[in-house]
Structure 1
């Protein structure tokens, strides 16, 4: 377990938080009465409300503020879409199998946790059995066999640390070499593991009753549905560029070893943005000047490749100017992501942006930065911000012929020279038969530089050779009776181009879990009572807290009921989530129970309320109280939950109330 502390500096205990979350109904294992299923969880009322508030804030922060076009596309996706996008071939993680026990591990996680365990056991003697975390299952402790638990010398320890720093840059063969080099065995059996092999993470499914084999997938992301609707979205946006689409919805990934609670699950909610830009405009952003002085904590790829995880704090303006971050639009969204996470209540000291290394980069990405959050599982990717270049629109356009392009009327005609190709299709068809279309496609895709080179070859030797990967040995020869390449002057009235895409992608469940870790702490009570002296608190910001206000009547006295009805009605009209606890427990205990749910404010109705219609307002973190009229308190709560006022301001404006809360 990674070393971490609460907001008060106390050691963080994941087991205590997990017990709280399960006991208070934040979440529970799916199908629990049937034994459950790994990687699947149900959200209870508090976490469902927290997620709904997250989505509402996300829409306001991104969709409304940036004038995005929100869409809702289908989860079930025909196979050809993901074949074209590259997901069928490349959307995979590497797994390692223990041949003796049959256990399967995600290879990078296994290496990371074994090397981490050895570093922690650095002072133990050779051959001694030590208690370490079972790989991929931090909640359970188990004595495991490991031949490399002796005291490490400085060079070996440094090599372990350098390997861990750049682990994401390894492929299957690289993982195999690391396993052999560091003698990593089956965690419980101690035998050699099978070689790492890729495992595609997509769930297959059948579409229609006549399908005799899987012909579709559950989407692993929402992006492809947005790309396929690009032309319609461009029309909806009146052909104006740049613009962005956005989507919030369920995605599915068949995780190899989902053993990190809510962080690694097989069904999850995502929020994704596809921001379309003109590549000739240099991917500039018209509001970059507004955010250029914002400071970020960055871990670039060069530092990682050097075997270090040392971060650097710099402004996004400096990062873009120095090409640490590739362009303004990518930098703009990285800042907007940081602003959003901090608004949620994420601890800024536990947030960093890490750049992907070359081998780690998704097949479609030109550059990518992850917003990583630190918690008891270490640094975890929670938001990705990728420059997908023009990959997706280009491959879908080539496959379907759909015009996924922008056509822009030029203010003045543009004249230029280009190399144009003409094929003699009357001869091409009979010569290549079924391969004629593949040859034609390969010719059309030739760049201007390649066309210039081939025109010289054709002139010199009367023939050219082009790459045709799907035909024969991958090369095809064309003689001058089949093809001509000439440079001609072209007058262009309409510019046609394929946009590039900047994509911020949010794993909502992962962010919410880290929010719960970052806001969890324990209040020590100085009172001598029959209740536990340590009380758990979730300091979830009022903006997204599941319940904003707890209403506590001093007792079930009949005189209190009209005030209860009036208060709940007023708060309901203000769209402020509230609940009533009129149980027989003490006021202190009732407040304490709701501190565990993250409820930021509490109202107490007492006999003074009956006399003068005033009520007390309690703030969760400080337990301080103020007293005022019902009208004043309700308006104050509205200002607090909308972010228009802080508790510090309220406590200066309204009279302090110094008694009432009793255990």
Structure 2
């Protein structure tokens, strides 16, 4: 486990304390809890809902507004043919194994990872290398595979590390082979497990009173973008490139959801589909991110059994073809900027490239933004180059043209063979089949038309259409070579897709933000950045006397008018306890109204992490705290604007 040090006086990170805080303060909780709950389903409480809403607001500002994206809100329920065409019905699956005696279901790759990591941890413990042994009580609470101090052969250690480095690249049969070769059993029972089988992750449903239309709950929002491509392109005045964006619920029937919000069955996604010319995947703003440094774990490194990252600028990564193109590289940088802005620890963020076997069926290159937390590295954002797959398959299935058209500055002049139909003779000879025959001939390649021309010169040719064969002669058509002037280029756009799992990001952000003061380890602190903190400012009147009421109302109203969300805590507990309670909620600033406030119209401003306090007149303090919340100044700037509070201004 990696210790989190968001403050130099912080107590080492304790996940048990964080979980207790999140549960006690109702950031989120198991859904249907009083009915026993259902694994993988969670409800968000007031602070969790506000935190998610603020993350979404920042995501919308960072991407939709700054990048001028077109926002969509498409339906969750989706007819089955859509996912049959997209490939999800056949391919959207994970490998599962079953306990051969109890029938318990486990996800195969997660089982291999948990068992091998536990054995490696036991090896380190046996060698005296374990830096932070896990207490037995903590093992039980976390429900992890039990670690036993057993020294492994160096060869076995190397094999385990090699398997873990490329775990995502294994097929189901290969995972089964690993389970047999290394005697991997169900850690809860010790029983052997079955051969891996594929399990489709989509929730099946039906549409209509008699279920006549089979459907699915969407596992991603992407298909709603692609099916509306023509309308989006028209809305964008036919211009390419452009991007659409969607924030909404998705559903995946996870095999064995665990680890809280990190693996759930219903979650909020934020997805972008950026449409580009396949012949030009440059990005007009690439120069702005060229020097952004990324921690990259390339597929070649993983294939060699290693997990060391390479620190490389986006510009170098694209120039060296580590990252496929400028647009994909641009979004990797923008994803990193977003994650760091909302409070993710930069030292615990990396981008891992998908290996060949784990690559989605639609992708040509894909990188996951993985963030380290108490469970290890977790994928939180996927950035894929989906090429033209989606638009092509939906167009082929429906017959609806999903293409872009570009006016050429210099027309392309070429010669090619063209079929010329004698429509009068066609109609007389073939009747209702005329259209199908003409469509078939028009679809011939240059080589096919040349062959047809030769056969017609010999007298006749036979064409198959509508499941029948027809004899054509030169009375029906001729093949002529013509000069074609092309002024419009028609192409199917490629798609670059950044896809965010907001629940995972939210939880890991809470881990990265959590710490306890050395002098008060029972009280946790969430050092959430002001832009995403559920409550920005706590107003604390020193007394419940009526004389404080007008000031409390005035300060609260002025903050609301400035767009700053605040809460009032006028309970009878001490100011210290009131601040401590709100440190747990991540509230970054506190305003104290004391007796001097009534007489002098002064007010103190407290900062959550340092507990430092400043003082000034009410309007001046409100102005400073508004700038702090909006991010236009930092606490160090506020300290230059307002004097430090020395604790003697209060008047009895």
Map 1:68-79 → 2, pairs under 5 A = 68-79=69-80
Contact in 2 for aligned 1:91/1:200 (Cα 8 Å): yes
Would the alpha carbon gap of residues 641 and 162 (structure 1) be closer, same or farther in structure 2, given more than 3 Å must change?
Answer: same
In structure 2, the residue corresponding to 1:275 is in which secondary structure?
strand
Whole-Å separation in 1 of the counterparts to 2:575 and 2:397: 66
Distance in 1 between residues matched to 2:258 and 2:183, nearest whole Å: 24
Task: Tell me if 1:558 matches 2:556.
Answer: no
Aligned mates of 2:118, 2:442 — CA distance in 1: 55
| Cross-structure match for 2:557 | 569
Q: In structure 2, do the counterparts of structure 1 residues 493 and 33 end up closer, same or farther at CA, with 3 Å as the change threshold?
A: same
- 2:239 is aligned to 240
Tell me: CA distance 1:340–1:418, structure 2 relative to 1, closer, same or farther (3 Å): farther
Deviation of 1:137 after TM superposition, in Å, equals: 9.6
Q: How does 1:261-660 map to 2 (within 5 A)?
A: 261-280=260-279, 282-416=280-414, 490-525=484-519, 534-659=522-647
After superposition, the C-alpha distances for 1:382-423 in whole angstroms (9 at most, x for unaligned) are 001110000000000000111111122223321235677999
The residue that corresponds to 2:14 in the other structure is 13
Once the two structures are superposed, residues 46-71 of structure 1 have per-residue CA deviations (whole angstroms, 9 ceiling, x without a partner) of 01001111111111111111111001
Give 3-state SS (helix, strand or coil) of 1:204's partner: strand
- Evaluate the alpha carbon distance shift between residue 493 and residue 563 of structure 1 in structure 2; reply closer, same or farther with a 3 A threshold: same
Judged with a 3 Å threshold, the aligned counterparts in structure 2 of structure 1 residues 492 and 588 are, in CA distance, closer, same or farther, namely same
Aligned residue in 1 for 2:119 = 118
1:160 maps to what in 2?
160
> 1:178 and 1:661 mapped to 2: Cα distance?
70
* Structure 1 SS opposite 2:371: strand
Identify the residue that residue 184 of structure 1 maps to in structure 2.
Answer: 184
Task: Measure, in 2, the Cα distance between the counterparts of 1:83 and 1:133.
Answer: 48
CA offset at residue 491 of structure 1?
2.7
Deviation at 1:454, TM superposition (A): 11
Where 1:408 maps in the other structure, the secondary structure is: strand
Deviation at 1:596, TM superposition (A): 0.3
**Alignment partner of 1:650: what SS?**
helix
CA-CA distance at 1:487 after TM superposition: 8.1
Q: Is the 8 A contact 1:100 1:189 kept in 2?
A: no
Q: 1:402 to 1:131 in 2, by over 3 A?
A: same
- Aligned residues of 2:12 and 2:515 also touching (Cα < 8 A): no
Cα distance between partner residues in 2 of 1:274 and 1:394? 15
Which residue pairs with 2:65 in the alignment? 64
In structure 2, what is the Cα distance between the partners aligned to 1:157 and 1:102? 31
- Alignment RMSD: 3.7
SS class of match (1:658):
coil
Superimposed CA distance per residue, residues 134-180 of structure 1 (whole angstroms, 9 cap, x where no aligned partner): 9x998125759x9xx74211111011001100010111111111111
The answer as to whether partners of 2:11 and 2:521 remain within 8 angstroms in 1 is no
CA, structure 1 residues 418+155, in 2 after alignment: closer, same or farther (shift >3 Å)? farther
Q: Determine the structure 1 residue equivalent to 2:92.
A: 91
Gaps of 5+ in 1: 428-435, 463-470, 472-476, 526-531
Q: What is the CA-CA distance between 1:206 and the residue it aligns to?
A: 1.2
Aligned partners of 2:293, 2:186: CA distance in 1, in Å? 44
SS of the residue corresponding to residue 143 of structure 2 reads strand
In structure 2, how many angstroms separate the alpha carbons of the residues matched to 1:487 and 1:593? 83
What's the counterpart of residue 33 of structure 1?
34
Q: State the partner residue of 2:143.
A: 140
State the distance in 2 between where 1:154 and 1:414 align. 65
Secondary structure of the 1:122 match is helix
Deviations for 1:350-397, whole angstroms, at most 9, x for unmatched residues?
Answer: 100111111111010011111110000100000011100000000000
Taking structure 1 as reference, are residues 417 and 369 closer, same or farther at Cα in structure 2, changes over 3 Å only? farther
Runs (4 or more) in structure 1 with deviation over 6 Å come to 130-134, 419-424, 443-446, 453-460, 477-481, 483-488
TM-score, length-normalised on structure 1? 0.87
Measure the CA separation in 1 of the matches of 2:506 and 2:621.
30
Alpha carbons of 1:75 and 1:646: their partners in 2 closer, same or farther (altered >3 Å)? same
Q: Distance in 2 between matches of 1:89 and 1:606?
A: 67
SS at match of 1:504: strand
Give the Cα separation in 1 of the matches to 2:294 and 2:591. 39
Give the equivalent residue in structure 2 for 1:254. 253
Cα distance 1:660–1:41, how it changes in 2: closer, same or farther (>3 A)?
farther
Structure 1 position 339, deviation (Å) = 0.6
Change (3 A) 1:301 1:533: closer
Is residue 218–residue 251 contact of structure 2 (8 Å, CA) maintained in 1?
yes
Q: Which residue is 2:224 aligned to?
A: 225
Q: 2:118 touches 2:146 (CA, 8 Å); kept in 1?
A: no
Separation of aligned partners in 2, 1:459 and 1:137? 80
Q: TM-score, normalised by structure 2?
A: 0.89
Separation in structure 1 between the aligned mates of residue 49 and residue 80 of structure 2, nearest angstrom: 32
Q: Does 1:175 align with 2:175?
A: yes
Q: Is the 8 A contact 2:114 2:145 kept in 1?
A: no
1:452-511 C-alpha deviation (Å, 9 max, x unpaired): 599789989x9xxxxxxxx9xxxxx99999x99998754322211100000111100000
Query: Which whole-Å CA distance do the structure 1 matches of 2:443 and 2:507 have between them?
Result: 46
Change (3 A) 1:421 1:370: farther
Supply the distance in 2 between the matched residues of 1:124 and 1:295 (Cα, whole angstroms): 36
Alignment partner of 2:48: what SS? helix
